[in-house]
Each structure stands twice: as C-alpha cells, then as structure tokens.
Structure 1
C-alpha cells in the first residue's frame, strides 16, 4: 500500500512539474524594433509579439512580418515578457504597437 501511494504521489509531482514547465515555456514574448521603408523614406519604432524571447531567434520572424507590409527591419532593440509592455513603449510605438 505504501509503495502504491508513493508511486501515485511521485506521478502527481512529476505531472505538476511538467505542467509548470509548459506554462512558463508558453509565456508571451515581445520585441521592440526599428524599421524603414523607402520611396519616400519612412522610419518607425514598433513593438510586436514574437514566438521567442531570444532576439536572434525572433529576428527572422520580425523580418518576415515586416517585409510582408513593405518594411525592412533595421534592428531588434530588445526582447521582453509581459512586464515590458509599459506605457512608455506603447506611446513611443504609437500605431506600430502590437500592429504586426
């Protein structure tokens, strides 16, 4: 009986650990970036949700989304989680806040 309870308890703990790991792995990631468009020259700063919190991994995704709208990525400034979605970034990005 003790072994059965021990097995159930260990299974429950392992299940909870896997669930917690999956939840944190699915946390939202965002990037702020600078982009341009030519003829006439336009520049913008923006914030978008991305699938990776690594700037190097998010760069191709950002580049592809922007290119689809005629923009060229100049630089990924940073990546961050929900806590980085602040009023300053929202005001600075204006119409490009979570647009793409």
Structure 2
C-alpha cells in the first residue's frame, strides 16, 4: 500500500503543486488611492509570474500594479491577512 501511494505521488500531474500567493502594492489615480493585497497565483511561483498575472487582473478593475513584494506558499497567508484587509485574495 505504501508503495502504491508513493507511485501515485510521483506520478501526480504538475497542477498538483503547492499553492502560490503573492503580496503586492497597487494604486488608482484621480483621486490617488493605494492598497496592499494578497492574491493567488497560478503557474510558476516567481515574482515575474506574479507580476504578469496581477497586472492584468488589477488593470481590469482600474488599478495599476506598483510592485510585487514577495511570493510565498500557504504558510504565509495568516500573517498577511490583517494587513491586506478587503484586498486579501480579492484579485
């Protein structure tokens, strides 16, 4: 049984990778508004991948991405939830 589970784990598709999240800063103009947020990222868990994903999501909602602060796994969500407020996993 243990061998079967090991084989299944090794053969799992790439989509079964650990979740990836990014924290970022964004702005709106006229009037100037800023926000800090956390978003889930699909694909490679890199700052470049997060930047590409977030730019489109944010601009579709009238925001401009200023920067991606970091990328992290699910273990970093709890410490960022209060800081992100209403922008926690919104985009």
TM range (shorter): 0.7 to 0.9
SS in 2 for 1:85: helix
Partner of 1:5: none
Which stretches in structure 2 are left out of the alignment for 5+ residues? none
Return the alpha-carbon distance in structure 1 between the equivalents of residues 24 and 18 of structure 2: 20
1:43 counterpart = 2:45: no
How many residue pairs get matched?
A: 88
Return the alpha-carbon distance in structure 2 between the equivalents of residues 24 and 53 of structure 1: 12
1:65 counterpart = 2:57: yes
Q: Normalising by structure 2, what TM-score?
A: 0.84
Which of structures 1 and 2 has the larger relative contact order (alpha carbons within 8 angstroms, sep 6+)? 2
Q: CA RMSD in A?
A: 2.3
Which stretches in structure 1 are left out of the alignment for 5+ residues? 1-8
SS in 2 for 1:56: helix
Return the alpha-carbon distance in structure 2 between the equivalents of residues 73 and 64 of structure 1: 9
Question: How do 1:1-100 and structure 2 match up within 5 A?
Answer: 15-19=8-12, 22=13, 26-51=17-42, 52-86=44-78, 88-100=79-91
SS in 1 for 2:11: helix
Return the alpha-carbon distance in structure 2 between the equivalents of residues 55 and 71 of structure 1: 18
Return the alpha-carbon distance in structure 2 between the equivalents of residues 81 and 75 of structure 1: 18
Return the alpha-carbon distance in structure 1 between the equivalents of residues 87 and 9 of structure 2: 38
